[in-house]
């Protein structure tokens, strides 16, 4: 649609940042020209555990080298954190950990000198066997929520069950691999620190760096105008960011540090592996009597991170007896972190494949089984959801897919030589928001500024801010300028957890409403205005003009009002806080996804031919960007099901496919037809916009739908992803692969 016309929330406004991105005008964090800039190169550990001694003698003599920073000479961070490996001591906790930093005049000189740094190790035994760590595993929490939650009598429910499923499902370690690697430019001016950082949370970077270096928060300025993908790995402060600031302070000049692709496999997080033991009990009519979902996942030796894979089991189905158990296993690997739909992506794979297995054990249609256990209210609290239309998602998606034409028996559908399979799954993700602030400013030049200290990580915040401000003010988006990505702007939360839209856009809406009301108040109190003396409620603001509702002849442009009053802008800053207490109203998004695959019976290759998905995610703020987010999540789900895995040499704990040639992700040729849509029912209990986030729900359930379709096609149940050809050909009993271990 044209951006010269007035707009409504929900319209498919094209990305306002699209042109600068495709023309190269958009500046990413590593692209800012800073006078006197030096270049840094990390030196990474080659051992997973022990102590390291660095010999930098030869490197220090190399051309252009300004400094080689090691544990022996590194600036001592005033408030260090154990989770950050920033050269404060010689301890090594994982392979590919930063153990030195070379700073040089050019990037090439830094690279060359880094190769001259020698490492010697006093090795200690490393923990690298995941299954061997189960006996010493321990419970933890995820964002303050206990990993262990149970209700009812699970043992009793399983005892009375007429049909049971008791299986193990596994998922491997995944690395994020955004197109833009982690990148930081750090510059000190006295005790003031300026950072250009590729991040999902500029205010979080500011808070953390001020704490680590013991300086006031106001002395840290962070800029990130565009983030070239993050998916969770850029949501935290990692060691490289602190090292860039440390190096800039130590050499007394600006320093740029950009991670190379192999350096992203270790020090900046990953999705941990999971071992999920799922037990379902049901009556012969398909009613669930009990669910037990026990998850083991890996964490590091320096920090706990819980992959809450059991979370979706607690909200998806009506069952009186549920137990979810989460355990952490310490390994000599880098700390895991949030990866798109953390926990829910891996957890829905397990519970939704288990539900498919239950449907086959009952000789019941998989969709009918889910409808028989539809949760009208939250299974734990018994409280109604803030809004839920999953039943309609099932209906629309199954109709669009043609599910009623499915032949139930495995290996019963073919297209020539290809085995055809149809599978489905339920999708879910929590609806949340956080406090946020935004500014709207009406300018004498006729333009309108909307600003917030949020981030553009590819999800469309520039566009959504423009759309919401324009819609509230009744103006064309072509006169609205969106500004974000600077800590000098009103503070906003992290861009993660599908929370940005539900957090930032209500603040934008409130700021636009307040600015409009200020303008109207100024007009009706201005004796030179044709609107003077009118009640404020009789004045409306549309298409850049104030007009009287009761008299079409009384109107004027907002620019005229500003000019008569000293050309002073009118602005409003709004601060919004979550209006929903999660304890009062469980808030979740849901969806239904159906997949068709074709499997070559000779080679075991699987192609996803088409996917149909329908989502209930509250109000859609922009249909075009939302569709892109749904599709992007589904593509990630295809990768989870069929391709993505980080392979390790478990003798040394080092990733062996730490590059984009060997770390397989879906490309265009891997993706068939994707048909996505949304119910579009506002959830005003969560926020004033009525929106819940859409960025992550697309990956949840997708891998299960594909795995279930593969079973329908082949009759072979694969419980460990990715589903590679070797698991589908020959005499391999893929069900027994659940006994695998790493190490």
Cα 146 to Cα 134: distance, rounded to the nearest angstrom: 19
- Residue 696 designated active-site: yes
User: Of 387, 456, 644, 696, which one is the catalytic site residue?
Assistant: 696
Closest by Cα among 566, 544, 563, 564 to 555: 544
Is the CB of residue 293 less than 8 Å from the CB of residue 313?
A: yes
Query: Parallel, antiparallel, or unpaired: how do β-strands 149-151 and 163-171 relate?
Result: unpaired
Q: At what angle do helices 202-213 and 239-251 cross, to 10 degrees?
A: 50
Query: Parallel, antiparallel, or unpaired: how do β-strands 50-55 and 91-92 relate?
Result: antiparallel
- Write the DSSP assignment of 557-620 as a string of letters: EHHHHHHHTTT--EEEEEEE-----TTTS--EEEEEEEEEEEE-TTT--EEEEEEEEEEE-B--
Cα 365 to Cα 286: distance, rounded to the nearest angstrom: 10
Cis amide prior to 231 (ω within 30 degrees) = no
> How many other C-beta atoms are found inside a 10 Å radius of the C-beta of residue 76?
9
Cα 592 to Cα 393: distance, rounded to the nearest angstrom: 6
Q: Which residues contact 686 (CB under 8 A, 6 or more apart)?
A: 386, 431, 433, 502, 578, 579, 580, 587, 618, 692
What is the 8-class DSSP label of residue 265?
S
- Is the dihedral angle over the CA atoms 78, 80, 84, 88 positive or is it negative? positive
**CA 116 to each of CA 40, 119, 160: distance values in angstroms, whole numbers, following the listed order:** 14, 10, 67
Closest by Cα among 96, 90, 498 to 335: 96
Q: Which residues pair with 145 in a beta bridge?
A: 142
Match 């030096």 to its residue by tokens: 38
What is the 8-class DSSP label of residue 182?
P
Is the CB of residue 728 less than 8 Å from the CB of residue 712?
A: no
Closest by Cα among 26, 22, 18 to 466: 18
**Tokens of residue 186, six digits:** 């750090």
**Tokens of residue 413, six digits:** 């559908």
Q: What is the largest CA-CA distance in the chain?
A: 89
| Distance, C-alpha 234 to centroid of its chain | 9
**Tokens of residue 459, six digits:** 């999800």
**CA 643 to each of CA 30, 536, 579, 636, 724: distance values in angstroms, whole numbers, following the listed order:** 30, 60, 41, 10, 7
**Tokens of residue 453, six digits:** 């200290």
* Edge-first strand listing for the sheet containing 65-69: 65-69, 98-104, 38-44, 255-258, 183-189, 192-197, 220-223
First-to-last C-alpha distance (Å) of the chain: 54
Residues with a catalytic annotation lie at 696
């Amino acid at each position: 649609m044209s951006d010269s016309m007035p707009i409504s929330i929900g319209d498919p406004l094209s990305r306002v940042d699209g042109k600068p991105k495709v023309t190269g005008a958009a500046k990413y964090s590593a692209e800012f020209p800073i006078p006197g800039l030096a270049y840094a190169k990390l030196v990474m550990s080659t051992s997973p555990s022990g102590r390291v001694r660095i010999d930098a003698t030869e490197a220090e003599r190399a051309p252009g080298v300004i400094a080689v920073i090691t544990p022996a000479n590194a600036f001592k961070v005033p408030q260090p954190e154990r989770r950050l490996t920033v050269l404060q001591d010689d301890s090594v906790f994982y392979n590919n950990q930063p153990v030195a930093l070379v700073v040089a005049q050019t990037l090439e000189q830094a690279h060359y000198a880094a190769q001259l740094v020698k490492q010697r190790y006093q090795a200690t035994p490393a923990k690298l066997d995941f299954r061997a760590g189960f006996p010493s595993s321990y419970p933890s929490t995820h964002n303050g929520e206990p990993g262990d939650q149970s209700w009812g009598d699970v043992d009793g429910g399983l005892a009375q069950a007429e049909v049971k499923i008791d299986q193990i499902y596994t998922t491997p370690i995944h690395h994020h691999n955004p197109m833009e690697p982690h990148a930081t430019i750090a510059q000190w001016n006295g005790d003031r620190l300026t950072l250009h950082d590729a991040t999902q949370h500029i205010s979080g970077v500011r808070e953390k760096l001020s704490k680590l270096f013991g300086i006031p928060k106001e002395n840290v300025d962070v800029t990130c105008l565009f983030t070239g993908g993050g998916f969770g790995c850029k949501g935290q402060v990692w060691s490289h960011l602190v090292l860039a600031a440390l190096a800039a302070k130590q050499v007394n000049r600006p320093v740029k540090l950009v991670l190379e692709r192999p350096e992203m496999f270790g020090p900046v997080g990953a999705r941990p592996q999971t071992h999920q033991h799922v037990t379902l009990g049901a009556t012969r009519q398909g009613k669930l009597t009990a669910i037990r979902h026990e998850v083991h996942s890996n964490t590091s030796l320096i920090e706990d991170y819980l992959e809450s894979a059991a979370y979706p089991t607690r909200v998806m189905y009506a069952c009186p007896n549920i137990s979810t158990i989460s355990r952490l296993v310490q390994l000599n690997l880098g700390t895991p972190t949030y990866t798109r739909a953390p926990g829910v992506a891996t957890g829905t794979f397990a519970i939704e494949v288990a539900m498919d297995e239950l449907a086959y054990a009952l000789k019941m249609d998989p969709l009918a089984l889910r409808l028989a256990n539809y949760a009208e209210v939250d299974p734990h609290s018994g409280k109604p959801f803030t809004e839920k239309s999953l039943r309609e998602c099932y209906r629309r998606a199954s109709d669009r897919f043609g599910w009623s034409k499915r032949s139930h028996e495995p290996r019963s559908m073919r297209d020539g030589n290809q085995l055809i399979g149809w599978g489905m799954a339920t999708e879910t993700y929590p609806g949340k928001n956080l406090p946020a602030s935004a500014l709207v400013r009406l300018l004498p030049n006729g333009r309108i500024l909307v600003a917030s200290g949020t981030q553009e990580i590819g999800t469309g915040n520039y566009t959504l801010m423009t759309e919401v401000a324009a819609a509230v003010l009744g103006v064309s988006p072509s006169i609205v300028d969106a500004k974000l990505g600077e800590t000098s702007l009103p503070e906003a939360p992290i861009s993660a957890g599908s929370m940005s839209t539900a957090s930032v856009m209500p603040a934008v809406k409130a700021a636009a409403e307040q600015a409009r009301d200020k303008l109207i108040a100024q007009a009706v109190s201005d004796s030179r205005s044709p609107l003077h003396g009118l009640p404020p409620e009789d004045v409306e603001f549309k298409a850049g003009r104030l007009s009287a509702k009761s008299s079409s002849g009384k109107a004027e442009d907002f620019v005229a009002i500003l000019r008569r009053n000293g050309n002073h802008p009118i602005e409003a800053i709004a601060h919004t806080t979550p209006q929903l207490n999660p304890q009062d109203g469980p808030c979740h998004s849901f969806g239904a996804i159906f997949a068709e695959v074709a499997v070559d019976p000779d080679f075991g290759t699987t192609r996803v031919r088409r996917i149909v998905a329908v989502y209930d995610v509250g109000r859609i703020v922009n249909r075009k960007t939302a569709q892109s987010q749904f599709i992007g999540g589904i593509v990630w789900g295809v990768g989870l099901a069929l391709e993505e895995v980080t392979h390790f040499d478990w003798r040394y704990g080092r990733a062996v496919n730490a590059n984009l040639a060997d770390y397989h992700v879906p490309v265009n040729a891997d993706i068939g037809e994707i048909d996505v849509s949304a119910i579009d029912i506002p959830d005003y209990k969560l926020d004033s916009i009525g929106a819940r986030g859409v960025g992550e729900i697309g990956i949840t359930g997708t891998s299960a739908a594909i795995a279930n379709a593969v079973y329908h096609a082949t009759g072979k149940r694969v419980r460990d992803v990715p589903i590679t050809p070797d698991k589908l050909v020959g005499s391999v009993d893929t069900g027994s692969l659940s006994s695998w271990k790493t190490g």
